[in-house]
Amino acid sequence: MNEKEKFLYDLQGFLVVKNFLNEEEVQAFNEAFEANGDKRGDDPNQATGGNMDGPVRRGIFNGMLSWEKPWCLPFRDLLAHPKNVPYLDTLLGRGWKMDHSPFMLTGGKGTEGLRIHGATSARFNGSAYYTFANGMMRCGMIVCQFQLSDVAEGDGGLCVIPGSHKANFKCPEEILLWEDHQEIVYNVPSKAGDMIIFNEATLHGTIPWTAEHERRSLLYRYSPKYLHFAGGTYETKQPEWVSELTEAQQAVLEPPYIYNRPLVAEDGETVDRPRSHMP
């Protein structure tokens, strides 16, 4: 993570990493979703009024890590992607884990949005926070959103309030519902293959989708090695198919703990095994 990226993330609470996935990787993900279209469901998180409402429910895919081969393979490869290791090490420290199962949000024109939400700094949230000390950034849960289709500003999809991860006052309800001061809400433009990484403390949500093409946003969420945000999947044990994964991928799915935890190495394939609890 270079100095410009650190500055932008610290300033904004999010960062766009261009061309994170190559064309072949994007194609593999899209082919996997198209082959498993019957697994699409309605997102249980619905818009909650205001300008986030829309006539079409958001679609969601879950459980991709356990899909039949070869469709599960691109998703497993992304668990400890070597290009992502420097970002996760910088923001979470050495030793991090998947917080809960990946999912993809999708929907065509008219698809509803989702109320803006996030922890901010109005009060300390032990699982969703942002701090800076001793020259280092540290976060609670972060979201890596991989775009599988293009998003122009105004198309809808992910929106953020830049800098809100350091806000000290509660956000007014009418802003959370995108009814007032829309100018401070940023619909992040991106291309297929880009990664948007943002802090769960940053105020974020989803603007209703207006583009003619389908939205496809794949979300992976990571937390520091010692905590868990969502509960459920990967909280206390690894899935049965974990033996099929690389050593590094298995480490990402370990439950939260510190002492003698395997740490994903820079190559994304192997792990370092410290002999103590120290980072």
Averaged pLDDT for residues 57-83 = 96
* Residue boundaries of the structural domains of the chain: 3-263
Q: What's the 3-state SS for 184-218?
A: HCEECCECCCCEEEEECCCCEEEECCCCCCCEEEE
User: pTM of the predicted model, to two decimals?
Assistant: 0.94
Confidence (pLDDT) at 240: 81
CATH class of the region 3-263: mainly beta
> What is the rounded average pLDDT for all residues in the chain?
93
pLDDT, tens digit, for every residue of 1-26? Answer: 999 999 999 999 999 999 999 999 99
The letter for the amino acid at 246 is T
Residue 279 has pLDDT above 80, yes or no: no
Tokens of 241: 């198919």
Place of tokens 């890596």: 144
Q: Which of 101, 187, 178 is nearest to 147 (CA)?
A: 187
Single-letter residue type at 200: E
- Give pLDDT tens digits for 190-236: 999 999 999 999 999 999 999 999 999 999 999 999 988 876 655 56
CA distances from residue 209 to 32, 153, 212, 277 in whole angstroms, order as listed: 23, 11, 9, 46
Query: For residue range 154-178, what is the model confidence (pLDDT) as tens digits?
Result: 999 999 999 999 999 999 999 999 9
Of the candidates 204, 157, 166, the residue with the CA atom closest to the CA atom of residue 185: 204
**Per-residue pLDDT for 77 more than 80?**
yes
DSSP string, 57-81: PPEEEE-GGGSPTTTTHHHHHTTT-
- The pLDDT of residue 47 is 75
Rounded Cα distance between 233 and 138, Å, is 24
The predicted-structure confidence for 89-102, as pLDDT tens digits, reads as follows 999 999 999 998 89
pLDDT at 29: 98
